Amino acid sequence: MEIWINPACSKCRSAVQLLDAEGAEYTVRRYLEDVPSPDEIRAVLDRLGLEPWDITRAQEADAKELGLKEWPREAGSRERWISALADHPRLIQRPIITADDGTAVVGRTDEAVRDALGR
Backbone angle region of 49, left / alpha / beta, with phi > 0 → left and psi within -120 to 50 → alpha: left
- Cis check for the bond before 95: say yes or no (omega within 30 of 0): yes
Query: Which is nearest to 102 in space by CA: 50, 54, 43?
Result: 43
Element holding 30 (H helix, E strand):
strand 27-30
Q: Which amino acid is at 19?
A: L
Q: Which of the residues are catalytic?
A: 9
* Residue 51: C-alpha distances to residues 13, 17, 39, 44, 46 (Å): 25, 28, 14, 10, 8
